[in-house]
Amino acid sequence: MTPFTADVLKIISSIPAGRVMTYGGIAERAGSPRAARQVVRILHSMSGKHGLPWHRVINAKGEIAIGDEGRFLQRALLEEEGVYVNPAGVIDLDEYRHVPDAPEPQE
């Protein structure tokens, strides 16, 4: 496993319930800001094996990027955690984005 892959797995694993990160944000945090597509591949191939909270990863526009049935499952899992997904399938990144090492807002 490459150091980048290990970092991506660690970052995704650290996203708390009720928060999201973008593929590009994860890539940047792992040291390769232009590797969002690699994050997609890692997430797709290793989510099951590593028990990753895959549903907390969205695209840069705040949209659920998975098609077909996965879209509905991702939306349901996020909503169970208190994330509001608007009717168009968009999540407000200003409200729900997880920034590692930053204190989470207290409710």
Per-residue pLDDT of the chain (107 residues; tens, 9 = 90+): 888 899 999 999 999 999 999 999 999 999 998 999 999 999 888 888 888 999 999 999 999 888 777 888 999 999 999 999 998 889 999 999 998 875 555 55
Could you give the CA distance from residue 64 to residue 8 in angstroms, rounded to a whole number?
Answer: 19
Q: How far is CA 103 from the centre of its chain?
A: 18
- Rounded distance, CA 68 to CA 72, Å? 8
| Confidence (pLDDT) at 93 | 94
CATH of domain 3-93: 1.10.10.10
In sequence order, the 6+-apart residues with CB closer than 8 A to the CB of 18 are 81, 82, 83, 96
Are the beta carbons of 40 and 50 closer than 8 angstroms? no
Q: Enumerate the domain spans of the chain.
A: 3-93
Residue 58's beta-bridge partner residues? 22
pLDDT at 103: 55
β-bridge partners, 28: none
pLDDT of residue 86: 93
pLDDT of residue 53: 94
pTM > 0.85: yes
> What pLDDT score does 71 carry?
85
